[in-house]
Amino acid sequence: MNIAPWAFTTRRIVGVARIVLAIGIFAAVATQVGDRMANNLFRPGEYFAFFTIHTALMFVVILIAAGIVSLRTDRDTRLLTIMRMMAVPYAIVTALVYNFMLRGLPLSAVDAGYEWPVWPDELLHVWAPILLVLDWVFSVGRYPLRLRDLWWALIFPLAWVAFSIVRGLATGWWPYPFLDPNGSLGWPGVIGYIIGIAGAMTLFAYLTVLVGRIWVRIQARRA
The DSSP code for 143 is -
d(CA 6, CA 223): 9
pLDDT at residue 150, as a whole number: 95
CA proximity to 198, closest of 147, 149, 144, 156 = 156
The DSSP code for 113 is T
d(CA 7, CA 140): 6
pLDDT at residue 185, as a whole number: 83
pLDDT at residue 1, as a whole number: 47
pLDDT at residue 183, as a whole number: 85
- From the CB of residue 150, how many other CB atoms can be counted at a distance below 10 Å? 23
Express each pLDDT in 87-109 by its tens digit: 999 999 999 999 998 888 877 87
d(CA 74, CA 14): 12
Decide: 28 and 56 in contact? Cβ < 8 Å: yes
Find the domain containing 97 and state its range: 5-222
- Which residues make Cβ contacts (< 8 Å) with residue 39, sequence separation at least 6? 114
Decide: 133 and 92 in contact? Cβ < 8 Å: yes
Question: pLDDT exceeding 90 applies to what percent of the chain?
Answer: 75
Domains in the chain, number: 1
What are the residue ranges in the chain where pLDDT is below 70?
1-8, 219-223
One-letter amino acid at 1 equals M
Alpha-carbon dihedral sign for residues 67, 69, 74, 78: negative
The predicted model scores a pTM of 0.92
CA proximity to 36, closest of 104, 117, 102 = 117
pLDDT at residue 114, as a whole number: 85
